Chains A and B, each alone.
Chain A
Amino acid sequence: MKSISLNAQHITKHFGGVVALRDGSLNVNSGEVLALVGANGSGKSTLAKIITGVISRDSGEIIYNSEAVVFNNPLAAHLAGVTAVYQELSLVPSMTVAENIWLAQEPLTKIGQVDTRKTISETRKLLNLFEGTYQSTLRPNALIDSLPPDEKQIVEILKAISRNPDVLILDEATASLDSRQVECLFSLVMEWKNQNMALIFVSHRMDEIFRIADRAVVLRNGDSVGEVKIAESSEAEIVSLMVGHESGLGRTERATLKISDEIALEVKDLNTDVLASVNFSVKKGELVGIGGLRGQGQSNLLHSLFGNKRYEGQMTLFGETLTANHPRAAMKKGIALVPGDRATQGLLLIRSILENLHLPNWRAYGFPLKIRKAESDANKIAKTLNMVMESLEAPVSSLSGGTAQKVVIGKWLLRDPKLLLLDDPTKGVDVGTKAEFYNLLDRLCETGTTILLYSSDDQELIDLCPRVLVMQDGFIKADLSGDSLTKANLISTSMGAGLNAVNG
């Protein structure tokens, strides 16, 4: 068997004046899974992209199978056997699953035509790897455009693996997969590992790292700060390497805040194209989690409350009937929504932080504009949220993922919302920012803000929310709180099976 080793040594990379990578080093060998860990902005995706030739390095060396190599573009890396699974980056939406998987490596007939029959049968074989974890709409001839995010991610993984790589980089590959698909991927990873592949696994999810990685390289602020053997390490050790000093990651004790008896939000028989007779009520100052597998109607529920989706049913906020048919109406009632996709739904990437923060609020600053007041308010919220930025005038695109998300949250906090709707706000956010974010939610609840939080991270829901509504297929399957709120119950109810919890 061929033995593979990839060794990146002292890689540096600057983007303009910003140091993305100061001293990035890692090595990975065949038959091993290396986890690449670090907070957002620590340089791990930069390092991964340099290894696959997507961006060039300033200095440093990559030794691949004891030869110094330079990959000037992804093609060179592909040819050498180094491939990455990107997050929905490398699929062409207007082409089919089969066309995408075999793109640039099409099997040809004798006269040089693309062998469509072969691509389709080979695609079927690849799809079988994930058999049973996707809907029947995922077929070789389906358009990428028509697939949900998790199935796109599956295609992305299959596309990478179809190239028979020696080194495979999985960059946040599990971020949009549900738990069954993650299980399936992990068993495949184990198989590939046994077939002597070298794998680099980039993830924010500690439990996943501990499940499949053999070693972990930790990056902090562009430096490789440590390497640990997973079997001899603990979450706390890795987190302390990431953060630089000991810090508590999860909060284990649940917030036992005094919640008033006043009912803030009441939803009766809510129906949309996705939701089916949803009923629940939330008290003032309560933090209610919404859980379940991905895409079971959670986002749809939040968007309906925000007047962004057509619905039937009755919703009341503090006794007032909501007839929100437009986000503007919902905003007037004091509802705020932090959408799931911050890049397209939450931010104007090329505009300044100040503009983004005040996007929903300019009306409050009158005409002519009280710009000084706007700036001081923006600075105040930036301080509260502990935002790392050059100035208010910097474009949002220059911020790291965590800070960008703070801008999205900040713009709604400036309005002092009564009801805050959060659509998976910590997706792709680093651990440090998450901790800050959890504290922020606590403070908001104390001041009487009612919060509905959808999260795809089960642990987060359990750590954070005293009460969780579990959704499946547009129904609320369970209303977990107190003793019934355990991870086992959360997972079993979200899978729609074996409910040993109390019914809501």
Chain B
Amino acid sequence: MDNKFVLREWWSNFNRKNTYVLSLVIFLLTTAAYLILQPNAFEEGVLTRLLTSNFRTWLPVIMLAIGQTIVMLGGGLDLSSGALVSLGNVILAISITSNEEPLFNFMIILGVIAIGLIAGFFNGFLTAYMGLQPMITTFATSFVYSGLALLILPNPWGNIPREYTKMYRNTTWLGIPLALFIIAAILLTWQVIKNRKYGRFLFAVGGKPDAAYYTGIRVTRIRISTYMISGFLASLAAIIYTLLTGSGSATSGAEMTLTAITAAILGGTSMAGGSGSLFGSVLGVIILGTIKNLISLSKMDSWYRVLVNATVIIAALASPGIISLFRRKK
């Protein structure tokens, strides 16, 4: 066996297993630009403050992006996760008003998680079991969830106890904010799950559902489970978002869905299923957030901000197509 060949096989496997390579490069570039443009970034304490304020804002979207990635790995798409954030957000906002009854508050949080799981099951049932088109179906169910949110809380309101929001916003450990620990915990859990049977089944189902079925994998169950994971993570995102803002709004998650999908694609996850990584999606959210920060640092008109943001999203969505165009020409 010649070395060149082994090297090539290693490289192609590396690329397949680490689909985030491109996003890692973009991440380094945008972060470098941000740190250079940000005045006094390296003074004492500033870095921790920047990390804390940025990551506590990004964490809800990161949760959604992770859920979205798992659904996409299984060959589906979930356009309803943002609406689930809105729904969870308003339920928490109207229910949790004081910290005197921790048990009651805890039950509410469990209830929100249950709603996420049920909604995810509903999405999965319609798409995987009934065989409906995921894009249309979850777009439709998103109206159900956001409609419910609007019914519960027509006007933004909320009075989440300070003690709770402070704990989320300001907790750091060794200069590292809580949000980063949560991200690390999720990625580590995934690393374990990925190398279990469930992980293999998920990649097989997304890669070629017929093949998975012929091999004896319960394709429908796996698919439904991905939507339930997405619903679960959307509920966690709702809890975190509520802690972040301290109040509720029926439109709070509306913009998150597209950002999460864009981040997943930017992170190297394939819309066709069966290939991608959660780490890439986390990088994707960070990249999009950093670019947003860069735009505001550059003191552009607000109209241009929206335009640049939209351009970035379109470029990210188009990147897989452009890359494969280049590969074909070779």
Interface, chain A (partner B; CB < 8 A): 54, 73-75, 78-79, 86, 89-96, 99, 103-104, 106, 108, 112-114, 116, 136-137, 139, 141-143, 146, 159
Whether B195 and A90, one on each chain, are in contact in the complex, defined by CB atoms closer than 8 angstroms, is no
Whether B214 and A92, one on each chain, are in contact in the complex, defined by CB atoms closer than 8 angstroms, is no
| Per-position binary interface string of chain B over residues 1-22, scored 1 when its CB falls under 8 Å from any chain A CB and 0 otherwise | 1000100010011001000000
**B182-217 residues at the A interface, CB under 8 angstroms:** 192, 195-197, 199-201, 203-204, 207-208, 210-217
Whether B195 and A78, one on each chain, are in contact in the complex, defined by CB atoms closer than 8 angstroms, is no
Q: Is B275 an interface residue (CB 8 A)?
A: yes
Q: Is B274 an interface residue (CB 8 A)?
A: yes
* B42 nearest CB across to chain A (Å): 41
Whether A89 and B211, one on each chain, are in contact in the complex, defined by CB atoms closer than 8 angstroms, is yes
Whether B207 and A95, one on each chain, are in contact in the complex, defined by CB atoms closer than 8 angstroms, is yes
| Per-position binary interface string of chain B over residues 256-293, scored 1 when its CB falls under 8 Å from any chain A CB and 0 otherwise | 00000000000000000011000000000000000000
**CB closest residue in chain B, given A84:** B214
CA distance A271 to B179 in the complex (A): 60
Chain A neighbourhood of B218, CB < 8 A: 75
* B180 nearest CB across to chain A (Å): 26
Whether B203 and A74, one on each chain, are in contact in the complex, defined by CB atoms closer than 8 angstroms, is no
* B204 nearest CB across to chain A (Å): 5
**CB closest residue in chain B, given A113:** B195
- Decide: A86 near B5, CB < 8 A? Known: A96-B13, A112-B196, A141-B13: no
**CB closest residue in chain A, given B6:** A139
Q: List 16 A-B contacts (CB under 8 A).
A: A73-B216, A91-B211, A92-B207, A92-B208, A92-B211, A92-B212, A94-B203, A94-B274, A103-B204, A104-B201, A106-B197, A108-B197, A114-B195, A114-B197, A136-B5, A139-B9
- Decide: A90 near B215, CB < 8 A? Known: A95-B207, A108-B197, A112-B196: yes
CA distance A114 to B197 in the complex (A): 7
Q: Which of B1, B192, B207, B215 contacts A94 (CB 8 A)?
A: B207
Whether A136 and B1, one on each chain, are in contact in the complex, defined by CB atoms closer than 8 angstroms, is yes
Chain A neighbourhood of B1, CB < 8 A: 136
Whether B275 and A75, one on each chain, are in contact in the complex, defined by CB atoms closer than 8 angstroms, is no
Whether B196 and A75, one on each chain, are in contact in the complex, defined by CB atoms closer than 8 angstroms, is no
Whether B217 and A143, one on each chain, are in contact in the complex, defined by CB atoms closer than 8 angstroms, is no
Whether A103 and B13, one on each chain, are in contact in the complex, defined by CB atoms closer than 8 angstroms, is no
* A249 nearest CB across to chain B (Å): 33
Q: Which of B16, B196, B214 contacts A74 (CB 8 A)?
A: B214
Whether A103 and B217, one on each chain, are in contact in the complex, defined by CB atoms closer than 8 angstroms, is yes
**CB closest residue in chain A, given B192:** A113
| Per-position binary interface string of chain B over residues 120-154, scored 1 when its CB falls under 8 Å from any chain A CB and 0 otherwise | 00000000000000000000000000000000000
Whether A143 and B16, one on each chain, are in contact in the complex, defined by CB atoms closer than 8 angstroms, is yes
Q: Which of A78, A112, A146 contacts B216 (CB 8 A)?
A: A78
Whether B211 and A90, one on each chain, are in contact in the complex, defined by CB atoms closer than 8 angstroms, is yes
**How many B residues touch A, CB cutoff 8 Å?**
28
CA distance A136 to B3 in the complex (A): 12
* A170 nearest CB across to chain B (Å): 15
Whether B216 and A74, one on each chain, are in contact in the complex, defined by CB atoms closer than 8 angstroms, is yes
Whether A93 and B207, one on each chain, are in contact in the complex, defined by CB atoms closer than 8 angstroms, is yes
- Decide: A143 near B215, CB < 8 A? Known: A91-B208, A108-B197, A114-B196: no
**CB closest residue in chain A, given B10:** A141
Whether B215 and A104, one on each chain, are in contact in the complex, defined by CB atoms closer than 8 angstroms, is yes
CA distance A94 to B202 in the complex (A): 12
CA distance A16 to B181 in the complex (A): 57
Chain A neighbourhood of B215, CB < 8 A: 74, 90, 103-104, 159
Question: Which of A73, A103, A136, A146 has the most C-beta atoms of chain B within 10 angstroms of its own C-beta?
Answer: A103
**B1-55 residues at the A interface, CB under 8 angstroms:** 1, 5, 9, 12-13, 16
Q: Which of B200, B211, B216 contacts A75 (CB 8 A)?
A: B216
**CB closest residue in chain B, given A139:** B9
Whether A94 and B195, one on each chain, are in contact in the complex, defined by CB atoms closer than 8 angstroms, is no
CA distance A142 to B6 in the complex (A): 10
Whether B214 and A54, one on each chain, are in contact in the complex, defined by CB atoms closer than 8 angstroms, is yes
Chain A neighbourhood of B210, CB < 8 A: 89-90
CA distance A143 to B197 in the complex (A): 19
* A334 nearest CB across to chain B (Å): 29
CA distance A253 to B57 in the complex (A): 82
Whether B196 and A113, one on each chain, are in contact in the complex, defined by CB atoms closer than 8 angstroms, is yes
Whether B200 and A99, one on each chain, are in contact in the complex, defined by CB atoms closer than 8 angstroms, is yes
Chain B neighbourhood of A103, CB < 8 A: 200-201, 204, 212, 215, 217
Question: Which of A73, A94, A136, A146 has the most C-beta atoms of chain B within 10 angstroms of its own C-beta?
Answer: A94
CA distance A469 to B80 in the complex (A): 60
Whether B200 and A114, one on each chain, are in contact in the complex, defined by CB atoms closer than 8 angstroms, is yes
**CB closest residue in chain B, given A83:** B216
Whether A86 and B214, one on each chain, are in contact in the complex, defined by CB atoms closer than 8 angstroms, is yes
Whether B207 and A143, one on each chain, are in contact in the complex, defined by CB atoms closer than 8 angstroms, is no
Kindly list the 3 A-B residue pairs having the minimum CB-CB distance in the complex, ordered from nearest. Answer: A75-B216, A92-B207, A90-B214
Whether A141 and B196, one on each chain, are in contact in the complex, defined by CB atoms closer than 8 angstroms, is no
**CB closest residue in chain B, given A109:** B195
Whether B274 and A92, one on each chain, are in contact in the complex, defined by CB atoms closer than 8 angstroms, is yes
CA distance A86 to B207 in the complex (A): 17
CA distance A116 to B211 in the complex (A): 21
**CB closest residue in chain B, given A108:** B197
Chain A neighbourhood of B212, CB < 8 A: 92, 103
A78-B216, A92-B204, A146-B12 provided; 9 other pairs, C-beta below 8 A?
Answer: A89-B214, A91-B208, A94-B16, A94-B274, A99-B200, A104-B201, A106-B197, A106-B200, A114-B196
